Structures are given as structure tokens and as C-alpha cells.
Structure 1
Amino acid sequence: MLSINRRGALGLLGATAGTLMLPRFAFSQAKRPSITIAVQKITNNNTLDIWNEQSNVGERVFFPNLWEGLILRDWMGNQGPVPGLATEWKRLDDRTLELKLRQGVKFHNGDELTAEDVAFSFSRERVFGNTEPAGGKTIFEDDHKPATVKELPAAIPGVGRRLWPALAGVEIVDKYTVRFHNATPDVTLEGRLYSFGSQIVSRRSWDEAATYADWARKPVTTGPYMVGEFKPDVSLTLVAFDQYWGGRPPLEQIRFVEVPEVASRVNGLLSGEYDFACDLPPDQIATVQAAPGYEVQNSTIWNHRVSVFNVQNPVLANPLVRRAMTHAIDRQAIVDALWGGKTVVPAGLQFESFRSSDMFVEGWKAPEYDPKLAQDLLKQANYKGDAIPFRLLNNYYTNQTANGQIMVEMWKQVGINVEIQMKENWAQIHDPAGVKGVRDWSASNTINDPITPMVVQFGPNGDVQQKKEWTNEEMNKLSVVMETSTDRALRKKAIARMLEICEREDPVYQVLHQNAVFTGMKSSLKWKAAPAFAMDFRSANWSI
């Protein structure tokens, strides 16, 4: 089995050489290069707000180049925590975490980062709206009363409470010291601080923006690059921020260009129009590598592809039908056919990194491919061949369309009638109109604990239950155990039971395979792909 951290580089490790401002390759020591990256999608909701853009495509453009948190994720290493805007942290008790801020950090507007910015970044106005923490009430509001009130997108408070269900507030101890106070015990507070969403924004930039939309198109952060120009659905240009606390960025500009079609990304790369082409399917690797001066880097990442069942559909309301669907899929055949064996079928919704904290449930596997069992379950369910809709995006995920078509054929072979409905965007996927059935998704481990993705995505505050696609009373009780217990044995027992419920007894999803990222690039410069969607263009990962 591939290690979660394995990085199988196909060809020499390299980087790109191209520039928006100068002829390609015509730069000197005094002038930094600029690069162009072809991506399938820039953001889903046409903003640059981490709370409004919780997505794989968002991770690529946000981290670690634009947004930063108090604790950073080790993007080029084991994905664990490293000091960021905070230089140190310590537990005061099982509900309280104290952090010392890095002094002298500048925002893109020139302001120094202080405890006030941190407190605001986790405030009602910025994230939580009128929601209250589980097990308590919000505190310390007087420390960061809003100077202005902006109307948040409706989804943001819910997203905030998925990651921070019991955060009561951030206490400003002094200019460079903050304390995070939870209403309940939580062994994952440190992990939550380097998860997607817990990054810090300039309080003044928020107050000065006329509207949320104005702010969200050009947020002021602390990263090595700042927003130069954002054209939704077209391009995003990041420019170097030379006052960056981590040193002068090595690139003048990073330009992300939205190129939905794989063939166009590949052709643009090989013609020299783009320096990188992201989200390539494995069948394009040979084409890129056959071209002189080009290579493909690949890595399995902390993300699993899944399909989600909607029990509002009267057919799928019967768990026997959902169980049959999970046993009708030959996952290994899909991995071999579409991925050339370059990824793996994981042990259910688990990641190898859980072993480091002894939270990996040994012996657990994805539902076995068993067509006979699937047919028996359908007979028990008295399934009559009713059509089940499958809302599908056109390759938002790599190989998504082909994967969906293969699954439909596998379901057909055991007698399940699934009909693909092609959709253009996520709004159409989640449109309450019409009959729902199956949809695609992915599930990420963002804090090295089974809370992500199990509780965050499928628990009571998760997207699935908030959209009323599925719910389970025992699952919700176990979610509380995972979020509040400090007893490791009890937590491990809870996650084992969750796997049984969500993948066997009352399936809410089916795991397909661990995700992998394939990036085509020029091999003339030195750059390495991270084992993540994120693309690191800091000095340590770029050399000429």
C-alpha cells in the first residue's frame, strides 16, 4: 500500500520558467520570474474567503501562498503542525489554549498583526454570526466589538461551527498573546488551528471594505503573495509581498487561469502558454512526459473520493438498497483502469496518518465487491428497478465523469437503475428542486484526527446532515464523544462504531479511492509538488 506521504515523482523534480512581464526565460537576478498555472477551477463561489470556499480548488490557490494561520500545516512534509503566525503554544487545560504571536508580522496593507486581528478572525461578525458554541455561550465579545457590520453569506456560520463547534471566544491577553477558550474539552484544538478556515485576516481591512463582496474579492492577509487581480471564473493573479515575515518571495507573480478542459490544459502546457497544468488524469502522463522538457509529478493526498446517498429519495431511504450499491462497485478495478494503479482503495474513511495517534481502526476495509450479495440485498429490499438519479459534474474531480459512468454500469449489472444527470456547478448539484439520489464528493483529513472528515462532514453540523440528505441518531451521539472526550480509548471505540454505521448498517457514503494529484510542468526549474492540492511557492520550494 502507498504511504500517505509517498511522493512518486515521475521524471526529475523541477519547476517552471515563464513570466507575465518579460519574455520567457529572459529574467535576471534582479527580476523575479512570473508563472502561469492552468487549473480546472479557481474557486466555487467566486470569492477568496476561506470560510466561503471550502474546497479542493480553494486549497490550491489559498495555501500556503495567500492565507496563513497561527499554526501552519507542513505542506511539503508530513502535513502536521509547524509554527506560523504564532511561535509557540501551550495547553492551560483541556478547554484552553494559549498562543504567543510572532512579532513584526505585516499584513498586506502594512499593518502589524496583533491579538486584536486574531480575536476578530474568530468573532461573530467574521465567522459565527448568531450561532452559539455547543455546551456554552460566546464570551469576550467586548474585546472585539465590530466597527461595522457586514452581511455574511448564509453558509459561513454553519461552516464555522463545523470546524469550531464549541469555540466560546478568543481572549486578548496582551498585544501578542491570545487564549482560545472552548466551552467543552477538545483534544483537537491545535489541529483545528491549522485546518482550512482558521487563518487570520486584517481587522482594519474588513472594517474599511464597503461590503462583504468587496472584501472577499481582495482579502488582506499575511501570506508571501497578495491579491493583485481577481477575475471570477477567469483568473487570479497573486503578486509578491516583499515585507513577508518569512523572507522575500521568489516569484514576481503567480497567475492561476481557469481552463476547465483537460485537453486545453495539456495543450497549453506543451505550447508554452502555461507553466503548470493541474489535475491531469493518469492517461495524460505519457503525453506530457514524451514532450522534451516536461514532466509530471504525482502524489496521493489526504483526501478520499466518495459518493453520497440522499435518503430523501424514497428508494434510497431503504438502507438495504444503499448497502447493495456499495457492494456492486469494484473499487480496485476502477483504480486499475482509470488511475493506472497510482492510488489505492483505503480502509474506509480512514487515513494512514491516524496511526500516529493510535486512532486507526485496524482490520477495517471498504465494502467488498460482491455482486451476489448486492442482488440478495436488493431482493430483500423488494427493489423494483426504480430509477435513481446521479447528479454528476463534468470532471470537477479528476476522472469524475468516467468514474461515474463505470459505476452506473456496475450498478446496472446487479440490477440497479441509476441515471446520470449532468450538472454545471455545485449549486445545481444541491438544488432542492427535483428528486435527488447520489452525488459525488471528497473527504479530507485536515487535522490528523478522525474528526476530520467523519464528524466535520457527516456529523450533525456537517454539510450532509445540514442539507438533510441523511441523519442517524447514534452517529450524532458518537460525534459528541469525538468532539468532547479526552479518553483516547473511548474515542477510538466511537470512531470504530461510526465506520460501522456510515459504511455498513446505514450507509451515508461509499469510499471509492484515495485521491491523487498529477501536475504537468516544465522541468527546467526546481519546484516540488506537495502531497496535497496546495502548491507551495515559498522560497524553500523554489530555486532557479
Structure 2
Amino acid sequence: MMKTMIAAALACGALYASLPASPALAQQSNLTVAVNDLPRTLDPGETPGNVDVRVYYNIFDTLIRRDFAHPAADGGAKLVPGLAESWAWTSPTTFDVKLRDGVTCHDGTPFDADDVMTTFSSERLWGADSYYPEGRVYFGMLKDVQKLDGRTVRFVTAAPDLALEHRLSSYISFVICDSAWNASRKEGVGHKVWMAEAARALRAKPIGTGPYRFVDYTRNDRLRLQAFDKYFEGKPAAEMVTFRSVPEVSARVAGLIAGDFDIIVDLPPDQWKNIAKYPDLKLMPAALENTHVVTFNMNDPVLADKKLRHAMSLAIDRKALVDSLWDGKTYTPNGHQLESFGPLYIKDRPGYTFDLEKAKQLVKESSYKGQEIVYRLVPSVYLYGPEAAQSMQEMWRAIGVNVRLDFVDSSKDQQKPGQQLTPWSNTFRIPDPTGSLLVLWGPESDMQKGQKLYKANPEFNELARELYTSNDQAERRRIFARALDLFEDDMPMTMLYNPAPAYATKKIINWMPYSHYYMDLRPTNFSFAK
């Protein structure tokens, strides 16, 4: 009842100062995290979305881990051991990984090379008919994966691959446990049939090697994890972690102040001052390697006109969005790249620009005749998504384009027949174009092969393949620049900005957020103050 009263007061514009200071707490052992949305599933091969990875990052481990706290000297990413204790290229196309000893899966079985072989099998992940299609986007350049002994695995690539180590630290590379997955294997049954059963079992009870094991999941309410005391980096600090679904920002803030929550996510800048009023709370801004975008369905009869797509992109005043929504605390990348790309970053690219007069002229030159265009969005998924949509609706109206907003309940609803405009976020999953632009928009991506919203210039797809195989960084930079030119000319989407939300926590929480949506609750990154 109290939460309802607080939320109602906030909705009416009441000040958070009217709430009492959150109560002082004794040493605690459980953690409650209020999130905007719970995972769709906990299958790391199926759903690598923002709301998914922040939870299952704590259930599963990768062979190699990115050290977000200590970037490389050139601005690129630094890699450190995960389930692998060491790794090396033994030839231009063979990559050997030495596994840690003493690691245990949540079901009690010892971790070894068989778990890696199962995770990276061609039938599951990277073969022409793999169960998980997105696996081919990440690892389609693999030629073989070999077990050299119980603690050593060799990855064989069809050509040199300068980004393999980074991909082994990222999405799709979370290691599953062999015994649980292969319990569904049936002799004489096609791999996609028995793997469908294995995937259902994994979604119901995911088993990994991470610091927390799965307990239960009540859809639209909560998801609980329990500390895995045999974790190889030591016992986790929290005995139980509960992720609580709290879609409204005001309710998350009120719950933190009242002491119901320990961490809240996606706090917009207009709420930061409210947190500062409470001495036992702290604000933790996070600069995300993620960009909010608007996708154009190139198969739609209206949006098939490239001049119209370019006009709608040019009509967006991104600085106005950043200033009004994010209080000027973020930016729009200059193309599908970040400075963390290191030597591949192209500093002088203009990226997606604002030019109202050119936008108006392109509308006149296009085939557009005033038809209604529908922008479908799920209001709770992206922070400031509805507000950005309403602002862009006015910007598009200023160039004579009629856009109607359609608020729907799920991403599946967004993708129903008639899809035209939709919001999306593009995470730079590794600091390399093969793990960002090409994973999301390349020739094997869902945008080209699954949803088929992007009809790419054939040269773009050819350059994409070259980026995977070239072992000369200067040449890769040249290829990347040309690929960006073609991609921006195709205009299957336009960039808005990198979101700049903050986390807010109780001061007794010792934890560092990352530039990805991972919520790392390992002993090395999370503890309670004593």
C-alpha cells in the first residue's frame, strides 16, 4: 500500500524529499535488484538482449573475460582469463586454449574440455545448419574445434581471425555444461530435434559455472539466484540475489529510498539530484557501449524509397534529443563505431547528421505521398523510448512525413506483419566491427537472414567477409571505412544516441557497473561494506 501511495505522489509531481531517509541496515547477505524488465529467457544462445545478459552473466562464464575496469593503453579492450587460464595462436589459423583446473558446474560435475566442445560444437553453434543461427554470425569462420586433452581445446579457423579472442569473451560464448545439455541427446534423432529439448531444459533450469545458480523465475515478477559456494573465484558475497520487475522509474526510486531495493537500474538524469538528497544512497552513472537506433523496414512499400529513409534520418535533431532527454550527458557516435575500437576507430567520420532543409528536399524528390507510417514500440524497454518517439514524430512532421506511434506489449508484437519503424539498441558487443556492425547488420545477421529488414548492397556483404579474414589492421581499417560508407548510404537504420542511464545503490553496496549491460556480481566486483 505504501509503495502505491509513493508512486501516486511521484506521478503527481511530489518531491522525493517528502520521503523519509532510507533506514540504516545491519550487515546483510541478500541482494534485491529492481530492473525495468526481466529476461525473456536465460538461454545465452537464444537471447543476447540487454535485459537478458545482465542476469545470465552471473550464471555462466566465458573462456576469456573482458576487463572493463582497465582498458588498454590505446583505448581498446583488455582481455583477462576466465575459464581459460591461458591461450595462444599456435599458427595463423590455430588457437589453443588451456582450461582452468578446479572449476565445477552447478550440477556438481567437474568442468573440462568436454563442456567447451559441447558449447562450441558445429551442430550447436557455428555449422551451416547449427541450432542457434546467431552462432554462425559470431563463429562462422570456425573450421573445427578439437579436444587436445582434458584441459586443452584448439579452435581452427578457415582464415586468420584477429577478433577471435574478443568473441570468446562476449555474447554467444557463454559456456554451458556438457552433462546437462547432452542429457537430451538421442541416438538416431536429428540434432535440431534433441537440441530443441535440451534448450527447453536449459531455459527451465540453466546450468553453468558462474558465481550464482538459478533458483526460480516468476514471469513479470521476480527471478532468483543463489550463491554457488564452489565458484572458482571464491564464495559470492550475496547468499540470494532477487531481480525484481519494476517497470516504472518512479517506483524503482521509491523502493530504493524505502529500503526495499539495494540496486536500481536505468535511472535517467532528471532523477539524479533526488538520489543525492539521501546520504545512505549513491549514484553510479555508466557510459554504455550501446546506441539507440530507429530501424527502417526496407521491404515496406513506403520505406523502400531510399530518399525517404535519408530524409527521415536527416530530420532528427540528435543534439536536441540529447539535451532534452539526457541533460546533455551523452553523445551520438560518429557512425557505427566507438573509440574503444582502438586502431580501427575512424575519428573524422561525420556519422548521422541533422539537415532540415536537405531532408525537406529529399521528401519532395521521393515517392512519398503523405501515407501514414507506423512507429511500433514497447514503451518499457528503452529508457526515454516513448519520449524520443514523440519528439521524432514532431521532427518528421516538420518535413511533411506523417508518423503514428503504436505502443505494443512485446518485441513479437513489434515484428508482426506491417512492421515499418521500430526502436532497437545496438550494443558494441566487442570493440571490433565484426562484433558490432557485422553481428547486427552483416550478411549472416538476423536483420538480413531472419527478419530480413535489410537489403544490403552486395559490396557491403563482400567487405564484411573481408573484415573477418584480413589479418592486416591497416587494411581492415580501410575496408571498415568503405563498409560504413555503404551501410550509411543503404540507410537500414539511423542512430540516435548512446543512452546514459545511471544505477543507484545503497552505500553499503561495493560494486562497479560496466560499459555493457552485464551486472557482474562476482566476488571480484561485488561485496557488502562491513
Could you tell me the TM-score, scaled by structure 1's length? Answer: 0.86
Q: 2:152 aligns with which of 161, 177, 188?
A: 177
Q: Which deviates the most, 172-181 or 123-132?
A: 123-132
- Larger CA deviation: 412-421 vs 378-387: 378-387
Cα separation, 2, equivalents of 1:456 and 1:392: 23
Deviations, residues 29-79 of structure 1 (Å, cap 9, x unaligned): xxx6111001011212xx21111121011121122x221011012243335
Task: Give unmatched runs, 5+ long, in structure 2.
Answer: 1-21, 72-76, 185-196
Instruction: Give 1:130 shift.
Output: 5.6
1:482 corresponds to which residue? 467
State the partner residue of 1:25: 25
SS at match of 1:255: strand
User: 1:94 touches 1:187 (CA, 8 Å); kept in 2?
Assistant: no
Q: Distance in 2 between matches of 1:470 and 1:338?
A: 29
Tell me if 1:276 matches 2:289. Answer: no
Q: CA deviation at 1:237?
A: 1.0
Kindly state the Cα deviation for residue 398 of structure 1 after the two structures are TM-superposed: 1.0
Choose from 134, 140, 144 the match for 1:165: 140
Question: Any gaps of 5 or more consecutive residues in structure 1?
Answer: 1-17, 133-155
1:97 to 95, 98, 120: 95
Describe the superposition over 1:442-467 as per-residue Cα deviations: whole angstroms up to 9, x where unpaired.
11222211112111111111121121
| Greater RCO (Cα-Cα under 8 Å, separation 6 or more) | 1
| 1:51 equivalent in alignment to 2:34 | no
Q: Where do residues 141-540 of structure 1 align in structure 2 (5 Å cutoff)?
A: 157-208=132-183, 211-355=198-342, 358-431=343-416, 433=417, 435-466=418-449, 467-472=451-456, 473-503=458-488, 505-540=489-524
Q: State the superposition RMSD in angstroms.
A: 1.9
Corresponding letter in the other structure for 1:98? D
Distance 1:196 1:417 in 2: 38
CA distance in 1, matches of 2:509, 2:472: 49
Amino acid at match of 2:277: A
Corresponding residue of 2:187: none
Q: Is the 8 A contact 2:268 2:500 kept in 1?
A: no
Alignment check: 8 A CA contact 2:167 2:430 kept: yes
Distance in 2 between residues matched to 1:242 and 1:82, nearest whole Å: 23
The 1:470/1:59 distance shift into structure 2, 3 A limit, reads same
- Measure how far apart 1:97 and its partner are: 0.7
AA in 1 matched with 2:473: R
List per-residue Cα deviations over 1:2-48 (Å, max 9, x = no partner).
Answer: xxxxxxxxxxxxxxxx9xxxx98344xxxx6111001011212xx21
The TM-score with structure 2 as length reference comes to 0.88
CA contact (8 A) 1:324 1:375 kept: yes
Contact kept, 8 Å, 2:246 with 2:252, in 1: the verdict is: yes
The percentage of aligned residue pairs carrying the same residue is: 35
| CA deviation after TM superposition for structure 1 residue 423, in Å | 1.4
Superposed CA deviations along residues 380-418 of structure 1, whole A, max 9, x for unmatched, are 114221111111110301111101111111111111111
How many residue pairs get aligned? The number is 488
Answer yes or no: is 1:76 the counterpart of 2:69: yes
Of residues 99, 113, 116 in structure 1, which corresponds to 2:114? 116
Q: Name the SS for the 2:511 alignment partner.
A: coil
How many Å separate the matches in 2 of 1:230 and 1:95?
42
Letter in 2 for 1:458: W
Cα drift, residue 477 of structure 1: 0.8
| Alpha-carbon spacing, 1:362–1:527, altered in 2? closer, same or farther (3 Å) | closer
Alpha-carbon distance in structure 1 between the residues aligned to 2:301 and 2:162: 39
SS, match of residue 113 in structure 1? coil
The alpha-carbon deviation at position 517 of structure 1 amounts to 3.2
Q: 1:107 aligns with which of 89, 92, 105?
A: 105
Shift of 1:495: 1.3
Mapped to 2, the partners of 1:395 and 1:491 lie a distance apart of: 38
Q: Would you say the 8 A contact 1:375–1:415 is kept in 2?
A: yes
Closer, same or farther: CA 536–24 of 1 in aligned 2, 3 Å? farther
Could you tell me which amino acid in structure 1 is paired with residue 313 of structure 2?
A: T
Contact 1:80 1:448 in 2 (8 A): no
Rate the CA distance shift 1:53–1:24 in 2: closer, same or farther, 3 A.
farther
In 2, the alpha carbon distance for the partners of 1:97 and 1:507 equals: 37
Q: Does structure 1 conserve the Cα–Cα contact (< 8 Å) formed by 2:29 and 2:239?
A: yes
